[in-house]
Amino acid sequence: MAEKTILRALAGETLPTPPIWMMRQAGRYLPEYKATRAQAGDFLSLCYNPDLAAEVTLQPIRRFGFDAAILFADILLVPQALGADLWFVTGEGPRLSTITARDQVDALRSTDAIHDTLNPVYETVRILARELPSETTLIGFAGAPWTVATYMIAGRGTPDQGPAHALKDEDRETFEALLARITDATIEYLSAQIEAGAEVVKLFDSWAGSLSGEDFRNYALEPAKQIIAALKARHPNVPIIAFPRGAKEAYIGFANETNADCVALDQFTDADWAAEHVQKDGCVQGNLSPEHMVTGGQALIDEVRRIKAAFSGGPHIFNLGHGITPDADPDNVALMIETLRR
């Protein structure tokens, strides 16, 4: 355990070469993933097949030797476990039955009942805990309440999270009841992942940037704080990474206020600024633009070196500023890792 570089960085150690993993590192840019997904039949069947989900989680570890593997799942499995209908439309993404009224929130399943649906995910974690190389850290994850709520309210992804903002502004009681239900379920879900063998967990708030002012504090920072406090009470030695994507200046102090062990940074956050204002509070993760995984070349090499240098004065986990895209070239991933490690 002491040799795992991710855990050393999360404990506050500054390493000469930062450990590296990549958001969505198991995915559509890899031919072996496409083959396994075809074997599964569809995306949700892949998520709920422990053997195949473990296989796609392991594929980028075998190919690239990342320092961490992140569980293959989806943030919308929690809404489904709570009772929302979930399906995926090819080429368009997820669809859910909408939750916009208080009686619909009240009709959701209890948080104790979510494990009936999510048990296959925990089995995937158990398989990975056995099969990953001894030096590779296993990361579990969940979507943060605000981000998950935006999908549950709109029934799909939206460019500006408008339906969720409308419900928040027009029927705050229903909105907050939904957020509370998601928060409780997320605590139970991540705790179960830890019990199954996850060594680190990450909270993805992909749409945190559409919140501002008191809304950011109330619906991004406070739920993260509540989830982290509950998890640390149960699992005090398990580090937690928070990702309030698009937080801008609200990144400052986020780790201290939520007690997160690391804050992940999006690619729009200047690395030198973050080193001064965010890394002073502990480990940071990020933040190469995913576009470099498509374009590659000298620009990729230069940017990897620049980010590494910017964060060299403190604990840092190298990563992208968001997930790798399906049009990425695996050779550029290998070039990123080679550049960082040499």
- Main-chain phi, psi angles of 8, to 5 degrees: -65, -45
Extract the tokens encoding 197.
Answer: 């063998």
Quick check: 1 pLDDT over 70?
A: no
d(CA 152, CA 292): 32
pLDDT (tens digit, 9 = 90+) per residue, 5-27?
999 999 999 999 999 999 999 99
The pLDDT of residue 83 is 98
Burial group, residue 172, by CB count within 10 angstroms (0-12, 13-18, 19+): exposed
Arithmetic mean of pLDDT, 109-127: 97
The pLDDT of residue 92 is 86
pLDDT-derived band at 310, boundaries 50, 70, 90:
very high
Strands (E), 191-294: 200-205, 240-244, 262-264, 283-288
Question: Which residues, in sequence order, are CB contacts of 60 under 8 Å at separation 6+?
Answer: 22, 25, 26, 30, 66, 69
For domain 5-341, give the fold.
TIM Barrel (3.20.20)
Per the prediction, the chain carries an average pLDDT of 97
The pLDDT of residue 331 is 98
Share of the chain above pLDDT 70, in %: 99
Arithmetic mean of pLDDT, 268-282: 98
Determine which helix (DSSP H) or strand (DSSP E) holds 225, and give its type and residue range: helix 222-234
Quick check: 206 pLDDT over 90?
A: yes
Tell me how far CA of residue 99 lies from CA of 80, 82, 149, 174, in angstroms: 12, 11, 9, 9
The pLDDT of residue 2 is 55
The pLDDT of residue 91 is 80
Arithmetic mean of pLDDT, 327-333: 98
pLDDT-derived band at 90, boundaries 50, 70, 90:
confident
User: Which residues are part of the catalytic machinery?
Assistant: 24, 28, 37, 74, 151
pLDDT (tens digit, 9 = 90+) per residue, 185-197?
999 999 999 999 9
pLDDT (tens digit, 9 = 90+) per residue, 15-61?
999 999 999 999 999 999 999 999 999 999 999 999 999 999 999 99
Arithmetic mean of pLDDT, 91-96: 91
The pLDDT of residue 304 is 98
Residue owning tokens 């929130």: 105
Claim: this prediction has a pTM higher than 0.85: yes
Tell me how far CA of residue 273 lies from CA of 40, 181, 278, 279, 281, in angstroms: 44, 36, 8, 9, 13
Question: Which residues, in sequence order, are CB contacts of 290 under 8 Å at separation 6+?
Answer: 267, 320, 321, 322, 323, 324, 325, 328
